[in-house]
Chains A and B, each alone.
Chain A
Amino acid sequence: DAKTTQPPSMDCAEGRAANLPCNHSTISGNEYVYWYRQIHSQGPQYIIHGLKNNETNEMASLIITEDRKSSTLILPHATLRDTAVYYCIVRVENTGTASKLTFGTGTRLQVTL
């Protein structure tokens, strides 16, 4: 799976948008970008994923650059409960491979009042 690079930490004021970047310059055509988060040693929680188009759900938006070498997770109105470690994971997906997730060290997002 392609390696990802994320800043180790970020701060965001409550109510503002949190924009979490991820570099995955070696991504290949059959690799999806997944975002998960982990709130204080709880189980990881799925946020969103995409291949090349931008995606939006009730939690967040995922913006993937046209060359797919980087992406940004956007939490539109961050709350204190969004304080967590956010993981950007690139996973190859074809019928011949396993579907494990390879977690890095992620970005620790601190949302403040």
Chain B
Amino acid sequence: EPEVTQTPSHQVTQMGQEVILRCVPISNHLYFYWYRQILGQKVEFLVSFYNNEISEKSEIFDDQFSVERPDGSNFTLKIRSTKLEDSAMYFCASSVRRMNTEAFFGQGTRLTVV
């Protein structure tokens, strides 16, 4: 069964450092998403991406965040200067179309900022 793959599974970084979280969506999917979940809290939407541009972003997704699809397979989330409060599980998801369809989630990257 096709799956969304995320790497690394766990990343520890120093406050102020840049991190890049990587995702390989399902190959025929066109819509891509990042969500995050702070420990013990809800899953929160960050950004959606389609046709090489951001479709929607939440208030969380400020100038410190960026997304990119550098080639035909990878989808990345960059945090420019990490803060302690960026510590969370980050989930990538993809779907074949925008509506009336399921989104497939990866297993997540646990980001710990120290």
Report the separation of the CA atoms of residues A103 and B35 in the bound assembly, to the nearest whole angstrom. Answer: 10
What does DSSP make chain B's interface, helix, strand, loop or mixed? strand
The answer to the question of B98 belonging to the interface, with a C-beta cut-off of 8 Å to chain A, is yes
Measured CB to CB, the residues of B under 8 A from A are 4, 31, 33, 35, 37, 42-45, 48, 55-56, 58, 89, 91, 93, 95, 98-100, 102-108
Task: Please list the residues of chain A having a beta carbon within 8 angstroms of any beta carbon in chain B.
Answer: 32, 34, 38, 41-46, 49, 51, 87, 93-95, 98-105
Q: List 24 A-B contacts (CB under 8 A).
A: A32-B100, A34-B102, A43-B91, A43-B93, A43-B105, A43-B106, A44-B91, A46-B103, A49-B100, A93-B100, A98-B48, A99-B31, A99-B48, A99-B55, A99-B98, A100-B33, A101-B35, A101-B43, A101-B45, A102-B45, A103-B35, A103-B42, A103-B43, A104-B42
